[in-house]
């Protein structure tokens, strides 16, 4: 009799089983994470309310950490620091949670409008606890915190990626920059285009030991293309540097050419290691027209241009773009000292291995004793 391990049908069956196990693990991990966050939120509320009513102050949390340790010596996650974080988790978000039928928090729409921000339970309990502690420790307002929660969900940020974006103050930079998109692109494309640009862009992976020119910066960006794309944002696909176009028998070269997958359009970037001057907009307008004529396909949206410069006067930039009929944005960029990013940097939510480490998932799923 032939061994089953040599049977192709059996091999395919095992692949199907393994896939099913992994899918179920992920679903269970998400479910466990949501349950854990609900519990932390409720416990934070209990601590907050007891401190207010009983007037026990900070000693309540210190005593709780010690007594929980005595009662459950093998249980982790209830240190003094983590209990403080649970209390902050509840107090920071509870005023802004929108009421949901059968949900955890009751709130009124009038209060939400008055506070000027809102957050759904679905969003709040969709990211891991360690993501929340990063956000709680590094944000100053509810609007900023909600932004990072929503961006984590939308872009599947790992904890490392979230930490980098918090450090670079992405909230203050995202969707900024002078542009004429509302006048040159139809809605909702114009709104989406605005969301793709930042001001300033922060390039923190540079190290020069001599005077450098624009081409040096350009080369460094391409040498560090993964980090460059991370800073540009989701959707950018690199096409080429010094991209060659022959126009009327003359060789022309675009500094950096990208294609944006979500916007379905080419993006032309002109890099200037100087302060912005109106002539830069005119040159970029010329390149955008060329790309629209020579590269743009029938189903592509209009090409977008971005001038990246070291400095700008916003009023001058606005005047320069006012009567241009091609979509152009003007942003600054900052060069910072090289900083080594984690080797395992990923633009995704934690892997199944990370969930297992945080939630002891393997035991939850497989231990049937």
**pLDDT score of 225 more than 90:** no
Percent of the chain beyond pLDDT 90? 43
Preceding omega of 200 cis (within 30 degrees of 0): yes
In order of 133, 211, 216, 219, 308, the CA distances from 222 in angstroms are 34, 19, 10, 5, 15
Query: CB-based burial of residue 55 (10 Å sphere; 0-12 exposed, 13-18 middle, 19+ buried)?
Result: exposed
pLDDT at 236: 92
Judged by average pLDDT, the poorest of 120-134, 200-214, 288-302, 354-368 is: 354-368
Q: Where are the CATH 3.40.1350.10 domain residues in the chain?
A: 172-337
Residue 361 CA to residue 354 CA, distance in Å, equals 9
Residue ranges in 94-198 assigned as alpha helix (H)? 109-115, 121-124, 129-138, 142-155, 159-167, 170-173, 181-184, 189-196
pLDDT at 20: 80
Average pLDDT, the chain: 81
Residue 272 CA to residue 205 CA, distance in Å, equals 18
Q: Both tokens of residue 248?
A: 């009327």
Residue 365 CA to residue 200 CA, distance in Å, equals 46
Band the pLDDT of 243: cuts 50, 70, 90. very high
For residues 149 and 347, which has the higher predicted lDDT (pLDDT)? 149
Q: DSSP strand E in the chain: where?
A: 178-179, 201-206, 236-247, 250-260, 265-275, 304-311, 328-337
Band the pLDDT of 16: cuts 50, 70, 90. confident
Helix (H, G, I), strand (E, B) or coil at 299: coil
pLDDT at 222: 77
Judged by average pLDDT, the poorest of 156-160, 177-181, 225-229, 240-244 is: 225-229
In order of 126, 160, 202, the CA distances from 32 in angstroms are 11, 22, 36
pLDDT at 62: 87
What is the domain class of 172-337 according to CATH?
A: alpha beta
pLDDT at 195: 85
For residues 367 and 279, which has the higher predicted lDDT (pLDDT)? 279
pLDDT at 91: 94
Q: Both tokens of residue 291?
A: 């790309």
- Hey, which residues does 250 pair with through a beta bridge? 247
Q: What is the mean pLDDT of residues 16-25?
A: 76
Q: Both tokens of residue 214?
A: 């624009």
In order of 33, 90, 109, the CA distances from 45 in angstroms are 18, 6, 21
pLDDT at 88: 94
How many C-beta neighbours within 10 Å does residue 352 have?
16
Q: Please, are residues 217 and 242 in contact by the beta-carbon 8 Å criterion?
A: no
- Hey, which residues does 237 pair with through a beta bridge? 259
Helix (H, G, I), strand (E, B) or coil at 236: strand
pLDDT at 50: 87
């Amino acid at each position: 009799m032939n061994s089953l391990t040599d049977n192709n049908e059996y091999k395919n069956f095992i692949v199907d089983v393994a896939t099913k196990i992994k899918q179920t693990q992920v679903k269970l991990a998400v479910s466990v994470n949501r349950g854990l966050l609900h519990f932390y939120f409720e416990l934070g509320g209990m601590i907050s309310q007891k401190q207010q009513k009983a007037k026990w102050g900070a000693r309540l949390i210190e005593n709780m950490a010690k007594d929980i340790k005595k009662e459950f010596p093998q249980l982790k996650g209830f240190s003094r620091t983590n209990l403080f974080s649970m209390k902050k988790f509840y107090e920071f978000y509870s005023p802004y949670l929108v009421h949901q039928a059968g949900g955890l928090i009751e709130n009124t729409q009038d209060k939400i409008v008055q506070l000027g921000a809102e957050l759904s339970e679905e969003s709040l309990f969709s990211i891991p606890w360690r993501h929340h502690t990063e956000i709680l420790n590094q944000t100053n307002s509810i609007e900023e915190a909600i932004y990072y929660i929503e961006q984590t969900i939308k872009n599947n940020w790992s904890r490392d990626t979230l930490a980098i974006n918090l450090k670079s103050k992405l909230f203050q930079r995202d969707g900024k920059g002078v542009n004429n998109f509302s006048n040159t692109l139809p809605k909702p494309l114009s709104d989406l285009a605005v969301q793709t640009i930042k001001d300033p862009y922060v390039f923190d992976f540079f190290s020069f030991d001599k005077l450098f020119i624009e081409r040096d910066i350009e080369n460094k960006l391409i040498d560090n293309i993964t980090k460059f794309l991370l800073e540009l944002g989701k959707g950018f696909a690199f096409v080429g540097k010094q991209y060659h176009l022959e126009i009327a028998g003359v060789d022309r070269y675009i500094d950096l050419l990208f294609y944006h997958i979500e916007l379905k359009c080419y993006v032309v970037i002109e890099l200037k290691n100087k302060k912005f001057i109106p002539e830069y907009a005119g040159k970029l307008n010329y390149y955008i027209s060329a790309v629209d004529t020579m590269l743009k396909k029938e189903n592509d949206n209009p090409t977008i241009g971005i001038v990246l410069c070291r400095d700008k006067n916003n009023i001058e930039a606005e005047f320069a773009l006012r009567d241009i009929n091609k979509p152009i944005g003007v942003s600054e960029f900052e060069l910072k000292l090289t900083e080594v990013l984690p080797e395992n940097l990923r633009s995704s939510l934690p892997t199944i291995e990370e969930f297992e480490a945080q939630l002891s998932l393997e035991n939850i799923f497989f231990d049937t004793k």
